[in-house]
Amino acid sequence: MSDMDCNLYRAFRQAFPKDLGACAIEVEGSRYWSFDDIERASAKFANLLCASAARPGSRVAVQVEKSAEALVLYLACVRAGLVYLPLNSAYREGELDYFLGNAKPDVVVASPQNFSWLSKIAFRHGAAHVYTLDADGRGSLIERAAAKSDAFKTVASGEDDLAAILYTSGTTGRSKGAMLTHGNLLSNARVLKEFWHWQSDDVLLHTLPLFHVHGLFVAAHGALLAGAKMIFRSRFDAGEVIALLPRATVFMGVPTYYVRLLSHAGFDAACCANMRLFLCGSAPLLAETFEAFRQRTGHTILERYGMSETVMLTSNPYAGERIAGTVGQPLPGTLVRVVDEDHKECRPGDIGHIEVKGPNVFPGYWRMPEKTAEEFTHDGFFKTGDMGRWIVFDHLPQPYLSIVGRSKDLIITGGYNVYPKEIEAIIDELPGVLESAVIGIAHPDFGEAVTAVVVARPGVEVKEPILLAALKAKIANFKVPKRIHVVAELPRNTMGKVQKNVLREKFSAAMG
Ligand code: AMP
Choice from 180, 278, 289, 305 to test ligand 1 binding pocket (greatest atom count within 8 A of CB): 305
The answer to whether the CB of 197 is under 6 A from ligand 1 is no
328-338 pLDDT tens trace: 999 999 999 99
Identify the CA nearest to 480 among candidates 471, 488, 490, 492.
471
Cα–Cα nearest to 508, from 424, 429, 448, 430? 448
| Of the candidates 61, 59, 62, 15, the residue with the CA atom closest to the CA atom of residue 39 | 15
Q: Are residues 55 and 179 in the same domain?
A: yes
Cβ of residue 281 lying under 6 Å from some atom of ligand 1: yes
Residue partners of 143: CB distance under 8 A and separation at least 6:
none
Residue 206 domain-assigned? no
Last residue of a domain, one of 385, 406, 427: 406
The neighbouring-strand residues paired with 387 are: 353, 405
The answer to whether residues 144 and 131 touch, using CB atoms and an 8 Å cutoff, is: yes
Q: Are residues 422 and 445 in the same domain?
A: yes
User: How much is the pLDDT for 170?
Assistant: 53
Are 46 and 167 contained in the same domain? Answer: yes
Q: How many structural domains compose the chain? A: 3
Tell me, yes or no, whether 402 and 414 share the same domain: no
Q: Taking Cα atoms as reference points, which of 216, 179, 201, 141 lies closest to residue 369?
A: 179
In a domain, 129, yes or no: yes
Cβ atoms of 5 and 156 within 8 Å: the answer is: yes
| 300 belongs to a structural domain | no
Per-residue burial over 70-101, b = 16 or more CB atoms within 10 Å of its CB, e = otherwise? bbbbbbbbbbbbbbbbbbbbebeeebbbbbbe
**Do 364 and 478 belong to one domain?**
no
Q: Last residue of a domain, which of 194, 212, 228?
A: 194
Work out whether the CA dihedral 433, 439, 441, 446 comes out positive or negative: positive
In whole angstroms, give the CA distance from residue 19 to residue 503. Answer: 52
| Residue 4 buriedness (CB in 10 A; 0-12 / 13-18 / 19+) | exposed
In which element (H, E) is residue 35 found? helix 35-51
pLDDT at residue 1, rounded to an integer = 40
Q: Examine the domain organization and report whether 162 and 13 are in the same domain.
A: yes
The reply to whether ligand 1 has any atom less than 6 angstroms from the CB of 314 is no
The verdict on the CB of residue 402 being under 6 Å from ligand 1 is no
Is 218 a pocket residue for ligand 1 (Cβ < 6 Å)? no
Q: Is 9 in the pocket of ligand 1 (CB under 6 A)?
A: no
291 domain residue, yes or no = no
Ligand 1 nearest atom to the CA of residue 406, by list position: 12
Please name which of 335, 493, 453, 329 lies closest in space to residue 402, comparing C-alpha atoms: 329
Domain-embedded: residue 265: no
d(Cα 197, Cα 228) in Å, to the nearest integer? Answer: 12
CA–centroid distance, residue 183 to ligand 1 (Å): 21
Longest Cα separation, the chain: 72
Paired with 456 in beta bridges are 433
State in Å: Cα 312 to ligand 1 middle: 10
Tell me, using a 6 A CB cutoff, whether residue 327 lines ligand 1.
yes
Q: Is residue 116 part of a domain?
A: yes
- Containing structural domain, residue 362: 326-406
Q: Kindly report the protein residue whose alpha carbon is nearest to atom 1 of ligand 1.
A: 307
Task: Decide: 37 in ligand 1 pocket, CB within 6 A.
Answer: no
188 and 84 co-located in one domain: yes
Ligand 1 near 303 CB (within 6 A):
yes
The DSSP annotation for 221-257 comes to HHHHHHT-EEEE-SS--HHHHHHHGGG-SEEEE-HHH
What CATH number corresponds to the domain at position 484?
3.30.300.30
Is the CB–ligand 1 distance for residue 493 below 6 Å?
Answer: no
Statement to judge: residues 53 and 170 lie in one domain: yes
Q: Residue 75 phi/psi, 5° resolution?
A: -65, -35
Residue ending a domain, among 161, 177, 194, is 194
Q: Is 455 in the pocket of ligand 1 (CB under 6 A)?
A: no
**Exposed, middle or buried: residue 124 (CB in 10 Å: 0-12, 13-18, 19+)?**
exposed
Q: Does a structural domain hold residue 208? A: no
pLDDT tens digits, the chain, 512 residues: what are they? 445 799 999 999 999 999 999 999 999 987 899 999 999 999 999 999 999 987 899 999 999 999 999 999 999 999 999 999 999 888 888 889 999 999 999 999 999 999 999 999 999 999 999 999 999 999 999 999 999 999 999 999 999 999 999 998 654 456 799 999 999 999 999 999 999 999 999 999 999 999 999 999 999 999 999 999 999 999 999 999 999 999 999 999 998 899 999 999 999 999 999 999 999 999 889 898 999 999 999 999 999 999 999 999 999 999 999 999 999 999 999 999 999 988 999 999 999 999 999 999 999 999 999 999 999 999 999 999 999 999 999 999 999 999 988 887 888 887 777 888 889 989 999 999 999 999 999 887 777 899 999 999 999 999 999 999 999 988 888 889 999 999 999 999 888 889 998 999 999 866 54
Residue 166 belongs to domain with CATH number: 3.40.50.12780
How far apart, in Å, do the first and last CA atoms of the chain sit? 56
Please, are residues 314 and 403 in contact by the beta-carbon 8 Å criterion?
A: no
- For residues 42 and 94, membership in a common domain is answered with yes
If you measure from the C-alpha of residue 304 to the centroid of ligand 1, how many angstroms do you get, rounded to a whole number? 9
- In a 3-state reduction of DSSP, which class is residue 472? helix
What pLDDT does residue 129 have?
Answer: 97
CATH number of the domain that 381 lies in? Answer: 2.30.38.10
**Same domain flag for 437 and 385:** no
Same domain, 134 and 15: yes
255 lines ligand 1 (CB under 6 A): no
Helical H segments across 52-153, by residue range: 68-80, 93-103, 115-124, 140-146
Distance CA 222, CA 200 (A): 10
Q: Which of 353, 403, 499 to mutate to test the pocket of ligand 1 (most atoms within 8 A of CB)?
A: 403
Contact partners, residue 153, CB within 8 Å, separation at least 6: none
Report how far apart, in Å, the C-alpha atoms of 457 and of each of 353, 426, 433, 461, 489 are.
33, 15, 6, 8, 10
Kindly state if the Cβ of 284 falls inside 6 Å of ligand 1.
yes
- Rounded distance between C-alpha atoms, residue 60 and residue 107, angstroms: 5
The CA 384 to ligand 1 mean position distance, Å, reads: 10
The verdict on the CB of residue 424 being under 6 Å from ligand 1 is: no
Domain membership flag for residue 229: no
Q: Are residues 442 and 351 both part of a single domain?
A: no
What pLDDT score was predicted for residue 169?
Answer: 62
- Residue nearest ligand 1's atom 15 by CA: 282
